[in-house]
Amino acid sequence: MKRRVVVTGLGAVTPLGNDVESTWKNAIAGKSGIDIVTRVNPDDFRAKVAGEVKDFNPEDFMDHKDALRMDRFTQFAVAAAKMAVADAGYVIDETNAERIGVWIGSGIGGMETFENELRTAIEKGYRRVSPFFVPMMIPDMASGQVSILLGTKGINSCTVTACATGTNSIGDAYEVISRGDNDAVICGGSEAPLTNMSFAGFSSSRALSTNPDPKTACRPFDKKRDGFVMGEGAGIVLLESLDSALKRGAHIYAEVVGYGATSDAFHVTRPDPDGKGAVRSMKMALENAGLTTGQVDYINAHGTSTAANDSTETKAVKAVFGDDAYQVAISSTKSMTGHLLGASGGVEAIFSIKAIEDGIVPPTINYETPDEECDLNYVTNGAIKKDVTVAMSNSFGFGGHNATLVFRKFED
């Protein structure tokens, strides 16, 4: 029999705040964390805005020496992981370390480190490249550093599935606990992609919004949407077997009940126009959960604010939910955070969990012009109070990756 898996700790660093409390407070208030980009020169790019993490001090979470040996994405992961473990009240020691794992992914990894060290090599020669270049750059180092600093000795893994990374990481960690391999896993995603090469690459592919107004640049499901807004941050949750959580007397936010993961097998960047992969991912998650579409109260949509994604996801939801598609509340919190790439699924899982705990569905801001291809029940005029028993979170990534998580209000 599969073991039940629950969420007992949350940690986040986002453009809306450097912890879960401020991030959630600002999200339900409909505030935007998007502004004119400062980590690159906006004059060099067609895109001018980004969702930047503000006033983050890594030394609030680690020694100065350790921080210098980490890329920014790893610093975010360590901070969010420590917050999640502290929130859960989970003590890691030699008695349980071998039963606690870490599964944190990143879509891009240490892009900032790569660019800085390449510049050093070109300007000063290859012998001047830092010996920490590789361990700072590789995507698995967020998971590795969290394991080292917290002393976990269970599974230590990293998922790289582009924008589905955070959701896949949580789903894979859920399965690790469900089958009994570990008792708890610190999991989610982290990303720090606001660099020149990232901006250049996404700009060249015309994926980014060129709207220079930070207040309206990210507008999922709106007919005038013109691309996504890049963001940075981390979203980490502590998953735990129900037996472990009850034994500790832990606060349980929600239960993870379903996970689906599929491939489009269609195109390197574009989603299948019929949303077939997304359909199978959502169906798989619901079947895994033993739930029907009529039992889902809220969907945190992938909702990137790109023309193809938003219409395709809408089409996929209709195909899965049928008549129920027009009843379920849907929002894209990327309208406020921007698209955190590999971290988005982790942060959006937290939004889904908080919606269950607080009975509040966060809004999709900047929605002004209806699109006939996007005609579902989007929450657009501020957050709404709603009893959320079941929440679904979708993530879809370049390469055809589709991932879906289903959370349910905990009932013993």
Residue 249: which residues within 8 A CB-CB, separation 6 or more?
none
- β pairing state of 298-300 and 329-331: parallel
Which of the residues 158, 163, 187, 374 is marked catalytic?
Answer: 163
- Residue 158 is among the residues annotated as catalytic for this protein: no
Single-letter residue type at 187: C
How many Å is the maximal CA-CA distance in the chain?
63
**Distance, CA of 197 to CA of 202 (rounded, Å):** 9
**Distance, CA of 340 to CA of 235 (rounded, Å):** 10
**Distance, CA of 355 to CA of 330 (rounded, Å):** 12
**Distance, CA of 390 to CA of 12 (rounded, Å):** 22
Neighbour tally for 68: CB within 10 Å: 12
Angle at CA 118, nearest 5°, toward 113 and 124? 120
**Distance, CA of 341 to CA of 193 (rounded, Å):** 8
DSSP, collapsed to helix, strand or coil, labels residue 153 as: coil
Q: Residue 249: is it exposed, middle or buried by C-beta count within 10 angstroms (0-12/13-18/19+)?
A: exposed
Catalytic residues: 163
